[in-house]
Structure formats: C-alpha cells, structure tokens
Amino acid sequence: MHWITERTPRLVNHVRSLWEGRAALRTRLEGLAERTDQVSWDDALAFKQICADLVTLLEDLQSHGQEEVALLQRSMNQDEGGTG
C-alpha cells in the first residue's frame, strides 16, 4: 500500500480507508477467537452464531481483498504523482 501512496498520492485517502478496514477486520477476528474460546461445549446456539459471524467475516475479508486489488489496479492505470 505504501507503493500506491508514493506512486499516486491522490489515492492516499483510499489507502487509509483500507488500512482502517483491515484493522477492523483484525479486531472482529480477535473477538471471534475470544468468543470461541469462551463458548461452552454444549451451547449450540452460541456456537452457531459464532459460525455465522465467521462466515460474514470471511465474506467481508474477501470483499476487502477485492477492494485492495481494485485500488492497486487503479493506481497503475493513473498518471504518476500530483492531485489533478
């Protein structure tokens, strides 16, 4: 991502947004790991919810990865430097 901001400074806000999104995904994953550690072996409802939340997180992670690729492609297709 540093390469993108160096090559196309006008995309710095998009890069920051993706960094923040990545941090939020990490936080969600850590929360799911904690919940998994704490769930009782006989609490099927809680386990089912954790699984559903994990599926949602994986979908969001895939979407985030696609956004990163799109931003990389966008930076390669723009003229270098400047804000105009």
Domains of the chain by residue range: 2-74
12 vs 74: CA distance, rounded Å:
12
The model's pTM: 0.78
Q: Based on the number of CB atoms within 10 Å of its own CB, is 12 exposed (0-12), middle (13-18) or buried (19 or more)?
A: middle
Residue 82: the pLDDT is: 46
Residue 40: the pLDDT is: 95
Tell me the mean pLDDT per 10 residues along the chain, length 84: 72 89 97 96 96 98 95 77 46
4 vs 56: CA distance, rounded Å:
28
14 vs 39: CA distance, rounded Å:
37
Q: Is the dihedral of CA 12, 14, 17, 19 positive or negative?
A: negative
